[in-house]
Amino acid sequence: MSVIIGISEMRITSDSRDVLATFALGSCVGLTLYDRETGIGGLIHCMLPLSKIDPAKASGNPFMFVDTGVQAMIQAMFDMGAQRKTLVAKVAGASRIMDAKGVFNIGERNHTVLRKVLWKNNILVAGEDVGGSSPRTMYLHMDTGKTILKMAGEEKEL
């Protein structure tokens, strides 16, 4: 069953019938985490890098921000039984859509904060497709643990 994750949302599941999907990853960053042993997986779509710009919004929706959202996702996966040593992380997005001159660098900042949060949690990125100027669609197939990316009419596995 398709489970759609919108902007500033996160889902975790262990149902092998699920396909988690998020659309229109521009400067936002998408992260899939999948535990090869337990079959627990999740997908998050974060919009902004740091929650300190709006602590009230971060309190109401931590998934809007990379720093709070990714940490919450990791903890929720551990709470479900996922193990750090068998987690596979895949990253997409962080493009320069609507910021071609790099004035705000939201995509780049999102990517940098994401890498830092994963590094602090001792989780390495197994695959990524970031930057550029095209939006991406990201899928996590729970039956196989594969992360599939669609961009500019092309499809590939991360």
The pLDDT tens digits of the residues spanning 3-45 come to 999 999 999 999 999 999 999 999 999 999 999 999 999 999 9
Per-residue pLDDT of 63-115, as tens digits, reads 999 999 999 999 999 999 999 999 999 999 999 876 555 557 899 999 999 99
Report CA Rg, the chain.
14
Instruction: Write down the pLDDT at residue 68.
Output: 98
Instruction: Write down the pLDDT at residue 1.
Output: 87
Instruction: Write down the pLDDT at residue 102.
Output: 54
**Dist CA 78 CA 1 (whole Å):** 23
Average pLDDT value for residue range 127-145: 96
CATH class (in words) of the domain with range 2-157: alpha beta
Query: 0.85 exceeded by the pTM?
Result: yes
Q: At CA 2, angle to CA 115 and CA 132, rounded to 5?
A: 40
Average pLDDT value for residue range 133-142: 96
Domain ranges of the chain: 2-157
